[in-house]
């Protein structure tokens, strides 16, 4: 069961059929923007609930705590286990509209998905005409991604707006709400802020309160700024500034002092991906990059082109999964593979050298190894990578070896992130 201040969520029971039918399922105004037809009678509602029970679906009934009446539904309608992502949907009785009900319920549902079900991304979409649904998503911290056209049985082709929220974005949204409550309180209590800090600390954040004044009763008389740092994999971090101060330059100086004290490698303000950092760095320095991939199967190049502007830096790249491709395209000596193995650092080096000759890119990256495991079962993966940087008539060679654990997709993603981090680190030292 999931609880909020005014409502609670639980699994459907067959006895909920009448309330479902009367409160929303038979209401054409409620189902107007949904993909299913209004229920013609209570038997349809009963059959639907029986289907949910028999198939162990995740749909939850939204119940009014004051009356125990079932007033709506919320569910995980689709999931992608490989990426720990899911898509949600919801509907609500019309008499409860415009009272903040769905915002309250969705916030609690997201908390459960991220913190108890361990999802990393939650997605949602609504018909473009249903602006109220989009407003709920935005209030809960979702960000708009794109417009799309999808085919439905009920409406045929429809235009929808797609939204998503990551666990990190959800945590920062919660922080913003908690701090706003703290800053706007007539008598802000230390315990309120401390609760916020503990919440974030337990989720991998460093939090520091700046320029505060306390009285003898440990209550804040004033609070200007709060600095929040997200500690990410491979020490690629993001920082967020929340508070009253408009002295951005002074605050940035404080950020730098804080980073030095905590030995953090901060890339930029706000939520930023490692591939964004790499693309921006390449663009800024007018550099090109190429990949020769074996175990990652093109994931490095595919990850990079997720970033707008990548076309100006990504040069020709190759997936050389087979030994023959390594020899034919990159000129890897067959004797090297026979003597040291296809997964060796010697093979990775010859792949990078061959790529450098073929592509003439400033940064040439090779990777070969084992992804390990399967799509659903964890295993051990190991790999060698070679990075060759050509800059100002100088050649810098970096050889990497790493061991990872996880499913094949997890290991490949970790391989990409680690190599990207090493490229960034090398470029920062060279440029």
What one-character-per-residue DSSP string does 356-394 give? Answer: HHHH--SEEEEEEEE--S-SSS-EEEEEEEEEEEEETTE
More confident call, 179 vs 309:
309
Cβ neighbours of residue 404 closer than 8 Å, sequence gap 6 or more: 372, 380, 381, 382, 383, 410, 411, 414, 415, 418
Cβ neighbours of residue 167 closer than 8 Å, sequence gap 6 or more: 114, 119, 120, 121
Taking phi over 0 as left and psi of -120 to 50 as alpha, with beta for the rest, 356 belongs to alpha
pLDDT digits (tens, 9 = 90+) for 257-269: 655 555 545 445 5
pLDDT digits (tens, 9 = 90+) for 45-77: 999 999 999 998 989 999 999 999 999 999 998
Q: Inform me whether the pLDDT recorded for 407 exceeds 90.
A: no
What is the CATH topology of the domain spanning 274-430? Maf protein (3.90.950)
- What token pair was written down for 245? 């101060």
Residues 89 and 92: their CA atoms lie apart, in Å, by: 11
Cβ neighbours of residue 128 closer than 8 Å, sequence gap 6 or more: 147, 159, 160, 161
Per-domain residue ranges of the chain:
2-169, 185-269, 274-430
Mean predicted confidence (pLDDT) in 125-133: 93
Q: Which of 127-136, 167-176, 274-283, 419-428 has the lowest mean pLDDT?
A: 167-176
- What token pair was written down for 414? 């970790």
- Give me the torsion for CA of 301, 305, 309, 315, rounded to 10°: 30
pLDDT digits (tens, 9 = 90+) for 177-218: 766 665 555 544 555 556 666 666 666 666 655 544 444 444
Angle at 422 between CA 416 and CA 426, to 5 degrees: 145
Cβ atoms 82, 375 nearer than 8 A: yes
Q: Provide the pLDDT for residue 179.
A: 62
Q: Cα 418 to chain center, whole Å?
A: 17
- What token pair was written down for 32? 């107007």
Q: Which of 225-229, 312-316, 339-343 has the lowest mean pLDDT?
A: 225-229
Is the Cα dihedral 190, 192, 195, 197 positive or negative?
Answer: negative
Cβ atoms 268, 277 nearer than 8 A: yes
Residues 328 and 330: their CA atoms lie apart, in Å, by: 6
Ranges of beta strands (E only) in 140-199 are: 143-152, 156-166
DSSP letter (8 states) at residue 34: S
What is the CATH topology of the domain spanning 2-169? Aminopeptidase (3.40.630)
Mean predicted confidence (pLDDT) in 366-379: 73
Q: Are strands 394-406 and 220-230 parallel, antiparallel or unpaired?
A: unpaired
Q: Provide the β-strand partners of residue 79.
A: 86
pTM for this prediction: 0.55
Q: Which of 3-17, 144-158, 189-203 has the lowest mean pLDDT?
A: 189-203
Q: Inform me whether the pLDDT recorded for 275 exceeds 80.
A: yes
- Give me the torsion for CA of 427, 429, 430, 431, rounded to 10°: 70
> Considering the chain, what percentage of its residues have pLDDT values greater than 90?
51
Helix (H, G, I), strand (E, B) or coil at 231: coil
Q: Inform me whether the pLDDT recorded for 356 exceeds 70.
A: yes
């Amino acid at each position: 069961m999931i609880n909020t201040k005014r409502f609670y969520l639980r699994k459907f029971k067959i006895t909920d059929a009448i309330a479902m039918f009367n409160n929303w399922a038979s209401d054409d105004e409620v189902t107007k923007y949904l993909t299913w037809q209004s229920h013609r009678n209570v038997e349809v509602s009963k059959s639907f609930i029986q289907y949910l029970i028999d198939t162990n679906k995740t749909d939850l009934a939204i119940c009014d705590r004051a009356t125990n009446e079932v007033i709506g539904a919320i569910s995980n309608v689709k999931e992608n286990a490989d990426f720990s992502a899911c898509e949600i949907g919801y509907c609500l009785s019309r008499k409860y509209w415009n009272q903040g009900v769905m915002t309250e319920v969705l916030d609690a549902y997201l908390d459960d998905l991220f913190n108890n079900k361990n999802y990393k991304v939650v997605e949602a979409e609504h018909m473009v005409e249903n602006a109220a649904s989009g407003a709920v998503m935005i209030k809960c911290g979702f960000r708009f991604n794109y417009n799309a056209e999808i085919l439905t049985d009920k409406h045929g082709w429809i235009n929808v707006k797609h939204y998503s929220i990551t666990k990190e974005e959800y945590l920062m949204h919660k922080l913003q709400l908690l701090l706003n409550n703290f800053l706007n309180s007539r008598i802000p209590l230390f315990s309120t802020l401390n609760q916020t800090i503990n919440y974030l600390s337990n989720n991998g954040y460093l939090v520091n309160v700046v320029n505060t004044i306390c009285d003898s009763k440990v209550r804040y008389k004033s609070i200007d700024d709060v600095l929040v740092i997200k500690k990410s994999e491979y020490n690629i971090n993001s920082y967020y500034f929340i508070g009253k101060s408009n002295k951005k330059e002074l605050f940035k100086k404080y950020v730098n002092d804080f980073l030095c004290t905590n030995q953090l490698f901060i890339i930029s303000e706000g939520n930023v991906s490692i591939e964004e950092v790499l693309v921006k760095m390449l663009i800024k320095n007018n550099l090109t990059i190429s990949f020769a991939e074996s175990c990652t199967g093109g994931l490095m190049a595919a990850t990079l082109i997720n970033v707008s502007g990548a076309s100006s830096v990504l040069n020709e790249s190759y997936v050389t999964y087979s030994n023959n491709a390594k020899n034919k395209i990159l000129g890897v000596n067959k004797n090297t593979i026979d003597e040291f193995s296809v997964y060796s650092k010697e093979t990775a080096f010859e792949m990078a050298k061959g790529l450098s000759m073929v592509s003439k890119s400033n940064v040439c990256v090779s990777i070969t190894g084992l992804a390990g495991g399967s799509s659903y079962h964890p295993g051990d993966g190991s790999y060698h990578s070679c990075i060759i940087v050509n800059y100002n008539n100088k050649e810098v060679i970096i050889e990497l070896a790493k061991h990872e654990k996880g499913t094949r997709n997890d290991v490949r993603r970790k391989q990409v992130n680690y190599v990207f981090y090493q490229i960034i680190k090398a470029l920062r030292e060279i440029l």
